[in-house]
Structure 1
């Protein structure tokens, strides 16, 4: 089922209205949709390299707005909707683990996990359920989501089409490298 959906989304990336579809996917993925917007972002950026940063910003902004919906589902509607999404993805164990991590590390956990390709919806719903301060949630989400999509854009900018396969098959490795860079940068500010 996911492979079929993946193929359909890649076909949508070639349409004239692809930016709207990518925005919708990016928004929905942050709260309930199963596939990340990278499926559309990468081919769109490769097809129109001059629009790479425009597409990346739209994708990140839509993800941020979708994250607010996920946060609201966890904060206000967890018992009726949020739990149903967690159960649908069979992510009860991850949800429990994320609650513990939010309790221990707070916003840092959101930033660190938000740049990885793990389902962002689990983070947003858990953040809402944990009643993470909304302003803190928004600021951390800006850092996490823009970092995540800019990482892809930078790779596409410098390496073009040959990076598509790497991104699709090794996104966790690429995200881990970015995570090390982000953490290193944050620590350098702390100690300078």
Structure 2
């Protein structure tokens, strides 16, 4: 099952419009999209290692542009647009946690959210809601997102074709491990 999906993803990664898809995904992932950019960036960097740095730069640029849009939503449209949407998807607690993290760690929370798998979108909108200084927000986002995406692209470029063959060999096992971990995490966090 996963090997077929992997083959399809690699085919998409080689598509002529893949950079456009990557840019759109990076932009909307910083606002509301639940699928991380890495899912698109990694196969693209594997499929075309000579363009890995370009793809990482593209992902970084559009992710930060999306973050600015998320910031603007939180800043200017919290009450009429964002808050009702947050309530409808049950993210109220996540916003409260984000606000607490901002109070506790300040700007470092943007770096942590932009580099790690923590939902960056929650912090882009919350930064706007809390009216965080814009220039530090942009600089920290550029550094965090850039480090993350260039690391992913670099690993794929470094691994190249041998990594692609190894991934193809183990993709079904890795896929089922991920499913198992997701189910375990769901039960762990829903207690």
Instruction: Indicate the TM-score class for this superposition, using the shorter chain for normalisation.
Output: 0.7 to 0.9
TM-score using structure 1 length: 0.76
Counterpart residue number, 1:154: 154
Counterpart residue number, 1:95: 95
User: SS at 2:104's partner residue?
Assistant: helix
Q: Give the distance between the partners of 1:112 and 1:33, measured in 2 at CA.
A: 18
RCO comparison, higher one (Cα < 8 Å, 6+): 2
Is 2:122 the partner of 1:105? no
Counterpart residue number, 1:15: 15
Q: Give the distance between the partners of 1:49 and 1:128, measured in 2 at CA.
A: 36
Name the CA shift for 1:108/1:21 in 2 (closer, same or farther; >3 Å).
same
Question: Are the counterparts in 1 of residues 50 and 157 from structure 2 also a CA contact under 8 Å?
Answer: no
Q: Give the distance between the partners of 2:86 and 2:54, measured in 1 at CA.
A: 32
**C-alpha RMSD over aligned residues:** 2.6
Question: Are the counterparts in 1 of residues 13 and 47 from structure 2 also a CA contact under 8 Å?
Answer: no
Counterpart residue number, 2:55: 55
- What runs of 5+ residues in structure 1 fail to find an aligned partner? 1-5, 170-192
CA drift of 1:55 comes to 0.5
Q: Which has the larger Rg?
A: 2
Counterpart residue number, 2:71: 71
Q: Give the distance between the partners of 1:38 and 1:88, measured in 2 at CA.
A: 27
- What runs of 5+ residues in structure 2 fail to find an aligned partner? 179-191
